[in-house]
Amino acid sequence: MSRSTTTLSVRQVRHIHGEISVPGDKSLSHRAVLFAALAEGTTSITGFLPGEDCLCTMRALQAMGCMIEVISETELRVHGTGGKLQPPLEPIECGNSGTAMRLIAGVLAAQPFKSRLIGDASLSSRPMKRIVDPLRQMGARIEGRGDKHTAPLEIEGGPLTGIDYTLPVASAQLKSCILLAGLFAQGTTSVTEPTATRDHTERLLAHFHVPPVISPTPDGKGRIIRVRGGSRLHAHDFHVPGDFSSAAFWITAAAALPGASLTLTNLGMNKTRTGLLSVLSKMGAHLHETITDSAAEQVGILHVNGRKLRGIRIEGEMIANVIDELPVIAVAGAVAEGKTEIRDARELRVKETDRIEAMAHNLRAFGVEVEEHEDGMTVHGGSPLKGARVNSRGDHRIAMACAILGLFARGETVIEDTACIATSYPTFQDDLPRIVQFYEGGLASLLSGRR
Ligand code: S3P
């Protein structure tokens, strides 16, 4: 089935009820397999996300000589290379994944061979200059296309020297790229992030026995992370918890539907990822969390009870923590009473698609009044929504956010181009009818497939 011919159809929701555990975290799955491949020894990974994005990282490592036993879709046994990869015979396919391309580039900058990183049309239009600049400062030979250094990236790896680098943009992918290169560089590398971004790389470095030194920035808002070049990672089994960003779709739907009651288990609750919970609480949501594990990553159970939400303003330092949830926060804004304003979120324009433009366009199709800003949008919530036919633009989170909005609209909603959902949440369409009951024909009203 080609990407453009898959559709998902939903109707208005009657009730949301039950318990769900979403597939493994995308960010952690990339990092777990990458760190295990670079480590000395054998690491078992459970809960791995078999989404297209993480499979790109896994296949890239296999293509560079790392032996990975696929025990099941979600369980891998990775035989570490001790950091010595083999030259790939073909270009490395990163598909739709910015994380795969940016993190792997950090590693390849230091490997003594030439490589080429390629991606799909969306990834090939995303800015890579942000990684090219610091890697070149470290001594890497890396080249993209044009001023923005877009993919394909050509890398001629070699010896690197540690740098002190302040991130010009709040990006965990950029931070992780530099820290990975720093592991193989001479001397110490420090990355200063003025605003805290997701800290999975730091946590997994510690888990694989190379704890970075972390201190707060003088204003207390950001962090300085230091790694020592030549540090050796050691194998350590890892369980990937459920992806909070995938759960976000159900959390938002349940929080905004009066009477809904939903429990999410085995959920990744890393504090640099769960900003959606503060956003929804401020909107009036009723949430209750219990932490069940806090070894490498916080994991827990979340109970959500639905009620009518009210609009709020989201901006500044809050943005990095909710960066992947902003499309579904816009949906919450459309369903809530009053105005929801999202600002300081320019980064959304360079995600898998321009998510500000895509969400503003799609929300309007449902009858929502939206003002688009250069760095966000204002959503006027509370008016009746009508089912719509919208397009995901090949972006998984736009597709799923629109499916959630369709639950609150009268009539049928059809989302076109939904194969992209498999990049982060391959079982989204199976999970939907498990917890959602529809008006008009119950579960049978859920259709997906060719149209
Ligand atoms: C990710 C970081 C974020 C996020 C992406 C995954 C990661 O991107 O949007 O889905 O795994 O590090 P940026 O770091 O570029 O903001």
Task: Supply the DSSP symbol for 246.
Answer: H
* Structural domain total, the chain: 2
Predicted confidence band at 443 (pLDDT cuts at 50, 70, 90)?
very low
Give the separation between CA 7 and CA 21, rounded to whole angstroms. Answer: 24
Alpha carbon of 173 to ligand 1 centroid (Å): 5
Average pLDDT over residues 10-19: 97
Average pLDDT over residues 392-399: 98
In a domain, 376, yes or no: yes
Give residue 447's pLDDT: 46
Instruction: Identify whether 258 is preceded by a cis peptide bond (ω within 30 of 0).
Output: no
Give residue 441's pLDDT: 55
Is 302 found in the same domain as 219? no
Could you give the 3-state DSSP secondary structure of residue 161?
A: strand
Spatial strand order of the sheet with 114-118 comes to 92-93, 114-118, 150-156, 141-145
In a domain, 398, yes or no: yes
Ligand 1: which of 57, 94, 173 to mutate, judged by most atoms within 8 Å of the beta carbon? Answer: 173
Average pLDDT over residues 17-43: 98
| DSSP β-ladder status, 92-93 and 114-118 | parallel
Element (H, E) at 119: none
Is the Cβ–Cβ distance between 424 and 246 less than 8 Å? yes
pLDDT in tens, 52-70: 999 999 999 999 999 999 9
Alpha carbon of 320 to ligand 1 centroid (Å): 9
Counting atoms of ligand 1 from 1, which one is nearest the CA of 171? Answer: 14
pLDDT in tens, 161-186: 999 999 999 999 999 999 999 999 99
Is 18 found in the same domain as 33? no
Q: How many CB atoms lie within 10 A of CB 443?
A: 11
Alpha carbon of 248 to ligand 1 centroid (Å): 15
Q: Buried b vs exposed e over 144-169: b needs ≥16 C-beta within 10 Å? A: beeeebbbbbebebeebebbebebeb
Average pLDDT over residues 341-355: 98
Ligand 1: which of 167, 323, 353 to mutate, judged by most atoms within 8 Å of the beta carbon? Answer: 323
Give residue 440's pLDDT: 67
The chain-wide mean pLDDT, for the chain, equals 96
Residues with CB under 6 A from ligand 1: 27, 98-99, 171-173, 176, 197-198, 323-324, 347
Is 315 found in the same domain as 433? yes
Q: What percent of the chain has pLDDT over 70?
A: 96
Is 135 found in the same domain as 156? yes
Give the separation between CA 58 and CA 56, rounded to whole angstroms. Answer: 5
Counting atoms of ligand 1 from 1, which one is nearest the CA of 169? Answer: 16
Give the separation between CA 147 and CA 161, rounded to whole angstroms. Answer: 25
Average pLDDT over residues 93-111: 98
Q: Give the domain range for residue 261.
A: 4-23+241-450
Give residue 186's pLDDT: 98
We report the CATH number of the domain holding residue 249 as 3.65.10.10
Is 94 found in the same domain as 159? yes
Alpha carbon of 116 to ligand 1 centroid (Å): 21
In a domain, 235, yes or no: no
204 Cβ neighbours under 8 A, 6+ residues apart = 28, 31, 32, 35, 238, 296
Is the Cβ–Cβ distance between 17 and 26 less than 8 Å? no
- Which residue, judged by its Cα, is nearest atom 13 of ligand 1? 171
- Which residue, judged by its Cα, is nearest atom 15 of ligand 1? 171
Q: Point out the residues that are catalytic.
A: 324
Give the separation between CA 24 and CA 73, rounded to whole angstroms. Answer: 11
Give the separation between CA 400 and CA 8, rounded to whole angstroms. Answer: 9
